[in-house]
Structure 1
Amino acid sequence: MMKNLLKTAVVGAALVASSVAMAQPAMASDLSWTFSDGVISYSDSTNKFCVRAYDSEGARQVTATITPTGGGRSVTVTDKNDYYGHPGGTCIYLNSSYVSENTSLTVTAKSYWGERGTWVGRGSRTITT
Structure 2
Amino acid sequence: MRTFGFLLVLAFFCSCASQKDITQNKKGRCAIKDSAQYELIVFDSGFDYWLATHQSVANQHSNEYYQNMNLQYSIEWNRRYAMGDPRINSYIDYSMNKNYGFDFNYKLYMYFKFFEDTNHIKLIPGSRSI
The two structures share one fold, judged by TM-score above 0.5: no
- Structure with bigger strand share is 1
Q: TM-score, normalised by structure 1?
A: 0.23
Q: TM-score, normalised by structure 2?
A: 0.23
Structure of higher CA gyration radius: 1
Give the number of the structure with larger relative contact order, counting CA–CA contacts within 8 Å between residues 6 or more apart.
2
- Structure with bigger helix share is 2
